[in-house]
Structure 1
Amino acid sequence: MANSKQLSRFWEWGRNIVCVGRNYAEHAKEMGSALPAEPLFFLKPSSAYVREGSPIVRPYYCRNLHHEVELGVVIGRRARAVPQDAAMQHVAGYALCLDMTARDTQERCKKNGLPWTLAKGFGSSCPVSDFVPKEKIPDPHKLQIWLKVNGKLRQEGDTSSMIFSIPYLISYISHIFTLEEGDLILTGSPKGVGAVEANDEIEAGIRDVVTMKFTVAQGAEPGSPKGV
């Protein structure tokens, strides 16, 4: 079992990043999507993690990069087919996360019936804050999360508006595949997602619990000496 020091740096060794889509009704509406009857989720590779001090790099093939601020749940105990009433025993803590999305690429993938990997899984597509121990957040379903771009508020929501609760998500996912220690679940984004450009500054926070800042950089095309 991982110790608290290891879990506080989950981004260095966690195996899976599980992202839940359309978990806020207003976000589903702004995306023109129906409310899900069961959780919609997809995966990011662990190489998608990026920490403060490094930029969010827009991939060379993307012309419309969107921010999505989310509460992340860090798994502290191996979870396999966990019932809802025991699910929170497997939570070690939380993190503020961004699900960066190459929106134009995602639309092409949807149109052609292709996976979302290019749109959601590129390097630096999962910026994360410092780890927040479970004890510092008594109720993760009563949190305000927010995001600003260049000082202007873009997203503000409350986790009480999630369609599927954290225990439900852990139970649901763990009945499909095993969640390991250090894995991260992104629980969905409130409304207000939008585009960012190179040199934009993104600032986000969970109430007064934790904040983070990132700048956006443009990725270079293969073979090009320019960009990041």
Structure 2
Amino acid sequence: MISSDIQKTIGSIYCVGRNYSDHAKELNNPVPKEPIIFTKSPACIVPFAGKIFLPDHLGRCDYETEIAVQLGSDLYQAEQNQVLEALRYVGIALDLTLRDKQNELKAKKYPWDLAKSFVNACPLSKFRQLASSQEIEELEIKLEVNGEVRQQGSTKQMLFSIPDLITFISQHIPLRSGDVILTGTPANVGPLKNNDYLVAFLNQEAIAEAEIVRI
């Protein structure tokens, strides 16, 4: 599990697909009119630090850099003011995706689970406490791979804001304290190679870095 002074036990992981229009377009997907929600298994969490080991025999594995938030209280059919009160912690996650497997599953109209919940499929940084509810609307992320900027995005570019996403999820699914929400990835996702070195930034601060090892 991820170690941090404020880290609580992680419950479920909810993910949001196509929350940046440029990312939807780069994968030839329609821009959604409401949030697309899927899950990753908590068993896939690995620290976004040191070395991240990924099975090479599973084929192409793409990075998708995302703002991750963790809830500090339960929510069900919540109003937005309740969501803002429940938002406690923020960090960065990689929603690693087996792209060939995902495309195969999508073609068959099957769920994406096998492409999203393989071993170490959710590298997660340490969380830090949000300074205020306003901060959630002013977050920026960036991923560098081998010193080259690959992804950049901000909450202002999201199709659905983080409070709106969580409000939407809570209308359908009971959320629990400790649950983590991955809020979507900006454009320019791409494959990871052996020995790639990743550094992730939140609001210009490098908060996670790791080397990829394909085994």
TM-score by length of 1: 0.87
* Cα displacement (A) at 1:79: 0.5
Give the aligned partner of residue 183 of structure 1: 179
Q: CA deviation at 1:172?
A: 0.9
Match of 1:8 among 6, 21, 24: 6
Measure how far apart 1:90 and its partner are. 1.0
Alignment match of 2:156 (pick from 160, 173, 185): 160
CA distance in structure 2 between the partners assigned to 1:129 and 1:6 by the alignment: 9
Query: What is the letter of the counterpart of residue 153 of structure 1?
Result: V
- Residue 183 of structure 1 deviates from its aligned partner by 0.6
Distance 1:9 1:158 in 2: 24
Partners in 2 of 1:81 and 1:18 — Cα distance?
16
CA distance in 2, matches of 1:137, 1:206: 16
Identity of aligned residues (%): 34
Counterpart position of 1:72:
68
More strand by share: 2
Q: What RMSD in Å do the two structures reach over aligned CA positions? A: 1.9
CA distance in structure 2 between the partners assigned to 1:71 and 1:53 by the alignment? 16
Amino acid at match of 1:95: G
Q: Take 1:168 and 1:52, find their aligned partners in 2: how far apart are those partners?
A: 27
TM-score (norm 2): 0.92
Partner of 1:207: 203
Counterparts of 2:48 and 2:201 in 1: how far apart (Å)?
13
Q: Could you tell me how far apart the structure 1 residues matched to 2:172 and 2:50 are?
A: 34
Residue in 1 aligned with 2:38? 42
Q: Residue 84 of structure 2 contacts residue 133 of structure 2 at CA under 8 Å; is this kept in 1?
A: no
* Structure 2 CA distance for partners of 1:70 and 1:137, relative to 1, 3 Å: farther
Structure 2: which amino acid aligns with 1:14?
Answer: I
- Aligned 8 A contact 2:4 2:126 in 1: no
Q: How does 1:57-96 map to 2 (within 5 A)?
A: 57-96=53-92
Q: CA deviation at 1:179?
A: 0.9
Match of 1:118 in 2: 114
